[in-house]
Amino acid sequence: MESICVGTVKGPGETPHEFTFIAPDPERRVKHGEFVYYTATVDGQERPILGRVTGRQPVKLFPDAFMADPAVPPDAVAALLGYDSDARELFEVTVTVLGYYNEVLHDFTNPRVPPQGGAPVFIAEDAFLAQVLSRARKGEQGSAYIGDLLSRGPGAVPVALNVRGFTSTHLAIIASTGSGKSYLAGVLLEELLMPYNRAAVLIIDPHGEYDTLQQVQNLERFQDDEYKPKVRIFRPDDLRVQIGSLTLGDLRYLLPNLSEKMHYQLTRAYNFAQREWKDGKYTLKQLEYAVRQVAEGSAGGDGEEMEDDPTTGALIWRLRSALGNSRIFHDFEN
C-alpha cells in the first residue's frame, strides 16, 4: 500500500489511545477528521495502524512582526530577510487510534501500544479506507450506500452499511440539531427500497418528514424488470383503533406516569370491563365507569363524585387525555 508520508511521530497523547505527530503540511492535507496511519509489528506481522485526526495546533508560525502590514504577504517579508520559507510552519497533530483491521472479526483491533517516536505517519489511501470503513459494497445485495467520506473527493471513498447489521437489531442516529439525522434516515430508507434490497418498511412519522418517499415508486433507479416499490401513506384520519380492542399492555403504554396504585386500579378496571362487556366492545365512558367501580371505597356508584378520589380522578384524566382527545382512538370504529 503506497501512501504519502505527512509527518513524524512526536509521542503519546493525553489519553492511552492517542498519539501526536509533527507535520509541516504545506498542502493542508492533514485536516480534522482525516485518516492517517503508522506501521507496527503485531503478532509477527507488520500492519497499518489506522487513526483519525482529532486535533491540530501550530508549534511554529511566522513571527508576528512579519504580519504587521496587511498589504505585504508574510512570505515576501520572509524572503526579504532570508527566512527559510520551506519550514515556516509546523503543526502538532493529535490522532485517535482506531487500530488495525482484523479480517476475521471484520472490525478494528487496537494494539494498545503507542507508535515509537520518530516513526513516519502516512495519509491513508482511498482504496484502503474504502475496504476497511464500509461494511458492504455499494450496489450489492444487503448494502445501504450512505455517501462518500467527507475528507476525500466525491466518489473516492464510498461508505455503505450492512443492512442486516441494523435491521436485525436496531439503529440509533445520534447527532446535534440540524446535522442531518432525518436526511440520513431518509437515505437508509431509500436504500432499503432499492431493487437489490426490496425491503418491507413500516415508518412511524409523527412529524410528516418522509412524505417524499412516495415519489420513489415512480423513479427508474428504484425499479428493475421484476420489481417496483409501492409506498402507501396512512394519515391520522385514515386510521381507527377501537378502544375496546386495546390490551392492558396498550393502556399502560398510552397512559403516562402511572403510580403503582394507578397501575393496580387500571388492571382491576380492565378486568372489570372484560367481564362486564364480554364482546370487548366497550366505550371510553364505559371504561371510565369501570375505573370508578373498582375504586377503593366505592359503594358501586357510577357518578362523577368518585373522581374526588385522587387516584380515580388522575386515572380518568389520563384516559380522556390519551384516548378521548385523539383522532385515532374511537368507541366503535376499528
**Same domain (yes/no): 168, 255:** no
The predicted model gives 141-150 an average pLDDT of 94
The predicted model gives 269-297 an average pLDDT of 89
Determine the Cα–Cα distance for residues 198 and 220; give it in Å rounded to an integer: 14
Q: How many domains, in total, are found in the chain? A: 3
2 confidence band (pLDDT: 50, 70, 90)? low
**Same domain (yes/no): 35, 118:** yes
End residue of a domain, out of 194, 222, 250: 222
The values of phi and psi at residue 85, to 5°, are: -75, -20
Residue at 178 is within a domain: yes
Task: Please give the pLDDT value at position 302.
Answer: 54
Q: DSSP E strands: which ranges in the chain?
A: 5-12, 18-23, 35-42, 45-60, 90-102, 107-109, 120-123, 143-148, 158-162, 241-242, 329-330
Residue at 125 is within a domain: yes
Domain of residue 170, residue span: 143-222
Determine the Cα–Cα distance for residues 316 and 255; give it in Å rounded to an integer: 10
For residue 199, what are the β-bridge partners?
Answer: none
End residue of a domain, out of 92, 111, 131: 131
**Same domain (yes/no): 298, 193:** no
Kindly report the number of other CB atoms within 10 A of residue 73's CB atom. 13
Q: Which amino acid is at 224?
A: D
Determine the Cα–Cα distance for residues 325 and 255; give it in Å rounded to an integer: 13
Residue at 137 is within a domain: no
DSSP-H helix ranges across the chain: 74-80, 126-133, 163-167, 181-192, 248-254, 260-276, 284-293, 310-319
**Same domain (yes/no): 169, 268:** no
For cell 515509537, the residue is 116
Over 90: is that where the pLDDT of 222 sits? Answer: yes
Residue at 227 is within a domain: no
**Same domain (yes/no): 35, 117:** yes
Residue at 257 is within a domain: yes
Cα–Cα nearest to 49, from 57, 41, 59, 61: 41
Q: Which secondary-structure segment (H or E) carries 20?
A: strand 18-23
**Same domain (yes/no): 124, 149:** no
Q: Is the dihedral of CA 327, 209, 182, 179 positive or negative?
A: negative
**Same domain (yes/no): 302, 253:** yes
For residue 50, what are the β-bridge partners?
Answer: 37, 99
Over 60: is that where the pLDDT of 304 sits? Answer: no
> What is the Cα Rg of the chain in Å?
32
128 confidence band (pLDDT: 50, 70, 90)? very high
Residue at 230 is within a domain: no
Determine the Cα–Cα distance for residues 225 and 220; give it in Å rounded to an integer: 10
For residue 38, what are the β-bridge partners?
Answer: 49
Is this structure's pTM higher than 0.75?
no
End residue of a domain, out of 101, 131, 161: 131
Q: Which residues contact 53 (CB under 8 A, 6 or more apart)?
A: 30, 31, 32, 33, 34, 35, 36, 93, 94, 95
Taking only the tens place, the pLDDT of each residue in 182-219 is: 999 999 999 999 999 999 999 998 888 888 899 999 99
**Same domain (yes/no): 258, 314:** yes
